[in-house]
Structure 1
Amino acid sequence: MRRGSAAALTPAGRIHRLRRRTALLFALVSALGLAGMAVVAVRAADSSWRAQVDADLTLRVNEVYADLRYVEEGVFAYPDPQEGAYDCPPVTLFTGSGGEVTALADAQRPCLVVPAEALRAVAAEAGRSGEQVRSTVTAPNGHRLRLCALPFVGPEEENTDGVLVAAVDVSGYLDDHNRLVLLLASACAVLVTVSAVAGSRLAGRAVRPALTAIEQQEAFFADAAHDLRTPVASVRLLAETGLRGEADGTEVMRRTLRQATRMGELVDALLTRARLTSGAVPLDREPLRLDQLVDAVVADTPSEGHRVTVRSVPVVVPGDAGLLRRAVANLLGNALLHGHPPGRPAEVEVTVGADGTVAVDDAGPGVPPERARSLFDRFHSGAGSSGLGLSIAAWVAHAHGGSLTVVPSARGGARFVLRLPVLPARKQP
């Protein structure tokens, strides 16, 4: 195993690595596609201006050739540049025999200074091949010139041939071409950067559900480890005490049963919370009587010497009966556990209002203001409680479009208020 790869071996590390590779692949594919299109565009632009220049040069030498007049062997005449304007682009006439250049007739009043060696070279190549030849050379002033050499045959009876060479300055075309290349390169760089950022964000959104699932799984494991450690240790201690015979067997079994019951409740609460946070529990919304649901929960909750008073008015809310029953039961159980002084029975009052609220008041020590905001997070209820009941109740309230808050109670303790949207009167059954 390679060192330093521990982070990549974790599930979250693998997902983050997959995100980076996906973003990199997205940017690479975009870069290849943009580079390919840029190359095609550059080549097309280059071919376009070259074809235009070559066509103009070919037309130029053909016009000059059409006006040439044979004088004598090795001597041709063509109109004065002032009359025919053949001096720009300049056309140079090479004459010779057997494709071998032997003479040079300089253009009159040329608008370009073309190196004589370049002229002779392209003329000689055209004379040897007998075909039109084109080339690009550099002038003494640094300008780039395009040359076009056209071989021709004189009167057959005289057996005389020659080459016409035309030249034109293409520095402007090349400058435009270089600017186009720079512009396309800059645009490709910007687009690749944008695609890389977009790919990273898209990959981040794509892997976000997986990261959320991993976080939920780790939170579930942390909840389970945190909440089951104490009852498991208690069961182990009771078992060791029973084996040593240091306590009455019936009492040990009774306490063990209580711890096992608590462990079962904890496991059930952990699984419920995990399913709620992962979205595995769909909401089965239907109109229901909130006052009747609260009455049923209070009737099913063991009071064990405590007193619970219910005041309610008929109200219909849209919601999931099972989840709402669980939320109300958690609030009531929390009040019975913490809502009374030590050694005294709890006095809890449950009020169901016409506005879709369920208020649970107790006469316990209350909730300090600094703890009210974090009270509905897991492990914040207090001693002797898992802290999951209020967390589940808050999630159920939010899932139904409502809220769960805690304020001081007129009875001296805490007042938990569960608010739910009320079904409009015209939609009530």
Structure 2
Amino acid sequence: MRPPTPAGRIRRLRRRIALLFTLTSAAALIGMAALAVHADDTSWRGQVDADLTARVREAVAELRVGDDGALLYPDPKEGGYDCPAVTLLTGPPDRLTVAAQAHRPCAIAAPAAVMAVAQAAAAPGTARATSHDQGGHPVRLFAQSFLAPPDEDGLTGVVVAATDISAHQSAHNRLTLEITAACAALIGLSALSGRLLAGRAVRPALAALDQQEAFLADAAHDLRTPAASLRLLAETGLRGEAEPTEVLRRTLRLSTRMGELVEGLLTRARLMAGVVDLDLEPLRLDQLVDAVVTDTPAEGHRVRTRTEPVIVRADPALLRRAVANLLGNALAHGHALGEAADVEVTVSADGTVAVDDAGPGVPPERAHSLFERFHSGAGSSGLGLSIAAWVAHAHGGSLTVTASERGGARFLLRVPVHPRP
């Protein structure tokens, strides 16, 4: 099995972060949902039991002793319902019998359930139970025993109250279903959010990895040829097949070229990584361009300048590098093979530097990709124009290429003009 690539490890980390976020959110949501369901169940059951307890105590207070010594429980008002329904059982604990019960109860519990909870309360004490009526509806029961008057011995009886809890149970089940559905929806939303957040979290790492791979590819591509040439030149010198002076001259030229490539690679990598801080200051663009033209060796080529005074706000070192790269590109590729280059550099008052040459020009289909790496002319590293484009964009400007009236290419570097006070 092949080991995962760095990008694969980062994507695996993104999936793990998303999964961990989802599981954490799910655990929290499920815990809160369980607490809410339990709290609602405890609440309505507690309320029902409180109502049953109050009804039983009320029934005990309403008990009367008849002339024959028997306990009497007054009937509810005519036409009304006894709710919760009350049943009076009397006798010893092992021989309880129904002495009185409501004529119109709101809940009719099974006689066996009533007897069971009554016997459980004959401690004396209280007892609670849940049963079902004849229709299958859930019924809550509460029983409380009471003692005989002081002049009598033994247990007098038990009062049992019953109420239908189907409405409470249905409401609780509906709430449970709604909480479950909401919890599932929130878990799904948290999974999607976790994926998006994890993607955003690892995006800088993927971008940095892409930049690193691009830098390594640039370095391998650009340094391979001069390194091989330098090695071949060294082998030639060792064999004595060339004059030492010529070998040294060519070695100096190759080492200078490699130094420029390394500097260009580092500059481009720093620009892509965004670690270059712009040292913006007002400067004369026309004077900067004149200085670049003066410092650039023409080597038999012709360079003319036409400038207008203009002040821009830019980083002098980076802007100088961009203009030098455009001029160097025109001198290297803006002419036919074996002929001298004829380059014209124009600085306009709107902050535009135009570099025109009389070379073969740039095909329209290549204009959109010319400023990417490995898309310059033959024999070029592709870094000069790429760095110039990055410098222009970093200053809030642009770099474009069109056809020149002189037959070649026209590069337009635009930077914002410094506002006048």
TM class by shorter-chain length?
over 0.9
Distance 1:296 1:74, change over 3 A: farther
Partner of 1:151: 145
CA distance in 2, matches of 1:101, 1:43: 39
How high is the TM-score relative to the length of structure 1? 0.94
Contact 2:120–2:126 (CA<8 Å) still a contact in 1? no
C-alpha deviation, 1:46, in angstroms? 1.3
Percent pairwise identity: 66
Partner of 2:250: 255
How many residues get paired? Answer: 419
Partner of 1:132: 126
CA distance in 2, matches of 1:52, 1:298: 93
Q: What SS does the corresponding residue of 1:406 show, helix, strand or coil?
A: strand
CA distance in 1, matches of 2:359, 2:158: 114
Instruction: Identify the range of structure 1 (108-117 vs 340-349) with the bigger mean alpha-carbon deviation.
Output: 108-117
- For structure 1, which runs of at least 5 residues remain unmatched after alignment? none
Distance 1:227 1:72, change over 3 A: farther
CA distance in 2, matches of 1:333, 1:405: 16
Matched, 1:310 2:305: yes
CA distance in 1, matches of 2:87, 2:73: 11
CA distance in 2, matches of 1:410, 1:87: 106
Matched, 1:104 2:103: no
Which of 269, 288, 293 is equivalent to 2:288? Answer: 293
Instruction: Identify the range of structure 1 (199-208 vs 391-400) with the bigger mean alpha-carbon deviation.
Output: 199-208
Distance 1:263 1:90, change over 3 A: same
Within 5 Å, give how 1:392-411 maps onto structure 2.
392-411=387-406
Which of 357, 369, 375 is equivalent to 2:370? Answer: 375
C-alpha deviation, 1:297, in angstroms? 0.4
Matched, 1:46 2:41: yes
Which of 162, 177, 180 is equivalent to 1:182? Answer: 177
CA distance in 1, matches of 2:84, 2:232: 108
Q: What SS does the corresponding residue of 1:317 show, helix, strand or coil?
A: strand
Instruction: Identify the range of structure 1 (39-48 vs 417-426) with the bigger mean alpha-carbon deviation.
Output: 39-48
Matched, 1:87 2:86: no
Deviations 1:12-43 (A, max 9, x none): 23322222222222222222222222222212
Contact 1:101–1:123 (CA<8 Å) still a contact in 2? no
C-alpha deviation, 1:72, in angstroms? 7.3
Partner amino acid, structure 1, of 2:388: A
Instruction: Identify the range of structure 1 (367-376 vs 74-83) with the bigger mean alpha-carbon deviation.
Output: 74-83
CA distance in 2, matches of 1:319, 1:45: 67
Deviations 1:117-140 (A, max 9, x none): 111110010003x22211111223
Distance 1:368 1:86, change over 3 A: closer
Partner amino acid, structure 1, of 2:127: V
Within 5 Å, give how 1:24-423 maps onto structure 2.
24-71=19-66, 75-83=70-78, 85=80, 87-97=82-92, 99-105=93-99, 107=101, 108-128=103-123, 130-159=124-153, 160-423=155-418
Q: What SS does the corresponding residue of 1:164 show, helix, strand or coil?
A: strand
C-alpha deviation, 1:92, in angstroms? 1.2
Distance 1:106 1:295, change over 3 A: same
Q: What SS does the corresponding residue of 1:150 show, helix, strand or coil?
A: strand
Contact 1:101–1:124 (CA<8 Å) still a contact in 2? no
CA RMSD of the aligned region, Å? 1.7
How high is the TM-score relative to the length of structure 2? 0.95
CA distance in 2, matches of 1:399, 1:239: 41
Contact 2:89–2:100 (CA<8 Å) still a contact in 1? no
